[in-house]
Amino acid sequence: MSSQILNLSTDSFDQYVSKDSNIVLLDIWAEWCGPCKQLSPILDEVAELYLDEVKVYKVNADQNQDITEKLKVRGLPTLLVMVNGEEKERILGLTSKTRICQVLDQHLEG
C-alpha cells in the first residue's frame, strides 16, 4: 500500500473524510475480497498521480461495519468520491485506473 493512503477506522473517519473540503476517494474493502486485492495497486498509482489534489483512504468493511452501514455499502469493493463528507459518486466492483481517473478529473474540473 502506498504511503499516501491511510487506513481509516470509525474513530478517524470523521476527522479525515467528513471535514475534508478536498476531494476524497474512499475505498471500502475486505481481506477476503479478491477484487479488492486487485484494486489495491491501482489505487496506489492513483494516489501517486493525484498526490496534491485527492486524498485516498481505505476502510476495512469487516472492522468498521458502522461506517459501511452509514454509507449504505452493499458490495465490495466500493469506491466513493466525497467532498465535505458528502458522496458525489460511487463506483461498484473492480474498475480500471482509467475509469477512476475519469471520475476524479470530472470532479476536479467541476
To the query of whether residue 101 is one of the catalytic residues in this protein, the response is no
Distance CA(34)–CA(3), nearest Å, equals 22
pLDDT at 2 over 70: no
Predicted confidence (pLDDT) per residue in 41-73, tens digit:
999 999 999 999 999 999 999 999 999 999 999
Q: Which amino acid is at 20?
A: D
In order of their start, the domains of the chain are: 6-109 (3.40.30.10)
What per-residue confidence (pLDDT) applies to 76?
Answer: 99
Q: Kindly write down the DSSP assignment for every residue of 24-70, as one continuous string.
A: EEEEEE-TT-HHHHHHHHHHHHHHHHTTTTEEEEEEETTT-HHHHHH
Say which of 6, 30, 33, 83 is annotated catalytic.
33
pLDDT band (50, 70, 90) for residue 1? low
Run of H or E residues at 106? helix 97-109
- Choosing from 5, 17, 36, 61, the catalytic residue is 36
Prediction pTM value: 0.94
